[in-house]
Copies of this chain bind each other. A is one copy, B any other.
Amino acid sequence: MLDLPAKIEGYGTIRAYRAADAAPQTGKVARRSKLLPDLGAAIDACELKDGATVSFHHHLRNGDEVLNLVMEALARRGLKNLHVAATSIFPVHAPLVGHIENGTVGRISASFISGPVGEAVARGALAEPVVLRTHGGRARVLDQGELKVDAAFVAAPAADELGNISGRTGRTACGTLGYPMADVEVARNVVAVTDSLVPFPAQPIDIPQGKVDFVVAIDRIGDANGIASGTTKPAEDKVSLAIGEHAAAAISASGLLREGFSFQTGAGGVSLATASAVRQEMATKGVTGSFCAGGITGFHVDMLNAGLFRTLMDVQCFDLAAVRSYQTDPRHQAMSAAIYAGPHVGGAVVDRVDAVILGATEVDLDFNVNVTTKAGGEIIGGSGGHADVAAGARLTIVTTRLTAAGYAKIVPAVGTLTTPGATVDVVVTDAGIAVNPLRADLAQRLRGAGLPVVAIDALAAQAAATATRPTPPRATGRVVAVSEYRDGSVTDVVRQIEE
């Protein structure tokens, strides 16, 4: 026993060190492990109760198996009325419908919902309205404590028994882990669910052990081939190419395509056709951009490797070429959902984007965009980062055909307002380019460049004339989903389809 004073002025009471406090006999620390035998044990360790909030991310997209396995385990534990706080829900998550029906799930919030769950919600499966948040808005409510997560389940392509997670190794490598990076900062418990338990320390680490409480090894977290759900190649049909050419020309005419240019596109065919045209012009002009942001595809990687951009800021790899790039190239950087799109972080990456190419299900006369519901009111998406980057980018271009599947896409009023028109600068269609009247300067530049600038009303009239099916009226039932803007205000509600 040490001979120490009991109390020291300016320090306080002294608790003397004793070896036995650290460990009997040796003072040595026992090697601990966060590994649990199965998901049931993790659920117990998290002390989840009825009504708890469990969160998931969608880096494996339509190849994800973790959400279903965890929900199955939660159902087996007999838990009820759970809140599923997912980043995105895909067709592969159809079993959620059964969990809603049997009362395991009582609430859902997400940034994007497609497939059977969206259909079931639109038809009134849940008593409580779904909350659809933007990616940035979801990060905001997490950081500000508005959304409290009891357990965040991280689909981990590789993990060690102390919880270091790598998205870059393992048979289901998905690349960056931008979405759970936001959840693990605040969740009461974090569970890494992996099918590749590696010796300590995992390498390279994407989420460090300090953010992870438990680790569970399972047979399979999903199918990496499901990551590239949907197109991630430039479109090749004539109409898409023409829209892409015009969108690229609009960027050029805007004056933004200069040294340090920053760019975001989705992974859709028209977006990448635009990127392809922009790429050509950057190469011709000898412009080096600063960064591409958002979900990243092999197309963006090619631009990086061609020296057209200095770095990629990647919240989610959209295809396996992007995963491979992130595995080895330090210029290909991960960012969390908060840093990507948060309205609360004092300057998100989306705020630094010069030009973004976005898609639309519908655009209306006020330039409002719907990417939440399809004609008839079924939920087929949600903002994701759409509304975030629209608000942040200097030039927000929405590309769309005049009609699709016989329905007009330029309409008097959108079926659901996802992204406010005030944040949309230009709409590029196969029948001309409409510029938001708030951007008179831009209309002038585009006209000066010889681009076919037309009024949005004219596009709507032409769309109506071309459409072979009338836009159905909005559903009129009770509210089944709330479309929450990044700042917590509400842009719209989705009402129940009554048949």
Contact = CB atoms under 8 A, between A and B. Distances in A.
Interface of A: 2, 4-5, 8-11, 14-19, 21-22, 25-29, 31-34, 107, 127-129, 131, 162, 199-201, 203-205, 208-210, 213, 260, 290-291, 310-311, 313, 328, 330-331, 333, 335-336, 338-339, 342-343, 345-347, 349-352, 391-392, 394, 417, 420-423, 438-439, 479, 482, 485, 487-493
A411 to B, nearest CB: 16
Contact of A8 (B205, B488, B493): B493
Tell me which of A27, A128, A339 has the highest count of chain B C-beta atoms within 10 A of its own C-beta.
Answer: A27
A51 to B, nearest CB: 13
A302 B290 CA distance: 34
A490 B14 CA distance: 7
A338 B210 contact: yes
B2 A492 contact: yes
Contact of A487 (B2, B22, B493): B22
Contacts of A491: 2, 17
B205 A351 contact: no
Contacts of A34: 346-347
A16 to B, nearest CB: 6
A492 B345 contact: no
Nearest to A351: B29
Contact of A128 (B10, B313, B490): B10
A176 to B, nearest CB: 12
Given A18-B489, A203-B331, A204-B333, 10 more contacts: A14-B490, A16-B489, A19-B423, A28-B423, A29-B350, A32-B346, A201-B349, A203-B333, A204-B330, A210-B342
Closest 8 CB pairs of A and B: A27-B422, A19-B422, A10-B128, A17-B489, A32-B347, A27-B423, A203-B311, A17-B491
A22 B422 contact: yes
A391 B28 contact: yes
Contact of A205 (B200, B310, B333): B333
A290 to B, nearest CB: 6
Nearest to A391: B29
Contact of A339 (B208, B420, B479): B208
B490 A15 contact: yes
Contacts of A346: 32, 34, 162, 213
A482 B16 CA distance: 11
Q: How many identical chains are in the complex? A: 2
Tell me which of A18, A28, A162, A345 has the highest count of chain B C-beta atoms within 10 A of its own C-beta.
Answer: A28
Nearest to A479: B8
A391 B27 CA distance: 6
A345 B210 contact: yes
A15 B483 CA distance: 11
B260 A479 contact: no
Nearest to A213: B346
Contacts of A10: 107, 127-129
Contact of A493 (B4, B330, B339): B4
A27 to B, nearest CB: 3
Contacts of A4: 490, 492-493
Contact of A131 (B11, B162, B438): B11
A107 B10 CA distance: 9
Contacts of A290: 199-201
B200 A22 contact: no
A315 B244 CA distance: 48
8 contacts: A2-B417, A4-B492, A5-B479, A8-B479, A10-B128, A15-B489, A203-B330, A204-B331
Contacts of A22: 391, 420, 422-423, 487
Tell me which of A203, A438, A493 has the highest count of chain B C-beta atoms within 10 A of its own C-beta.
Answer: A203
A22 to B, nearest CB: 6
Contacts of A488: 15
B347 A209 contact: yes
Contacts of A330: 203-204, 328, 330
Contacts of A31: 347, 351-352
A448 to B, nearest CB: 21
Contacts of A342: 210
A27 B10 CA distance: 53
Given A129-B11, A422-B19, A209 B345 contact: yes
B420 A17 contact: yes
Contact of A482 (B11, B26, B345): B11
A335 B201 CA distance: 11
Nearest to A311: B203
Nearest to A30: B351
Tell me which of A17, A19, A22, A32 has the highest count of chain B C-beta atoms within 10 A of its own C-beta.
Answer: A17
B11 A479 contact: yes
